Amino acid sequence: MHQQVAVLLSQIEIELKKLQLWSVVPPSAEALASLAPFCCDTMPLEQWLQFIFIPRMGALVEGRLPLPVNIAVCPIAEEAFAPLTEAKLGLINRIADLDQLLSGKRIQQSARC
């Protein structure tokens, strides 16, 4: 499963880059220290994905450490990236794929492609 997670994390990164949502400038230390879910009070979701979620999940994969089993990022992604365009659906679907792989549940309102 670790390899599947690594592939999905890479695909999420690719989708963020395709949408020009990948940043070369990291958030401030204060923004990264947020205790709010998804750091929603200090940064947009794409920055949380890039600077917190992908690196932390990547570290779990690299270390072959236990992966989360109760995860649901897709619902907040659908809200954060609304209105959903065809281009954004690729990103939403990869996030939903990761949720489903880890938790066994797919909570996705938008159409799958």
pLDDT tens-place string over residues 44-59: 999 999 999 999 999 9
**110 or 61, greater pLDDT:** 61
Domains located in the chain, CATH noted: 2-23+37-103 (1.20.1440.40)
What confidence tier does 113 reach under pLDDT thresholds 50, 70, 90?
Answer: low
pLDDT attached to residue 44: 96
Q: Do 98 and 9 meet the contact criterion of CB atoms below 8 Å apart?
A: yes
Average pLDDT, the chain: 95
For the chain, the residue count is: 113
Q: What is the pLDDT of residue 110?
A: 80
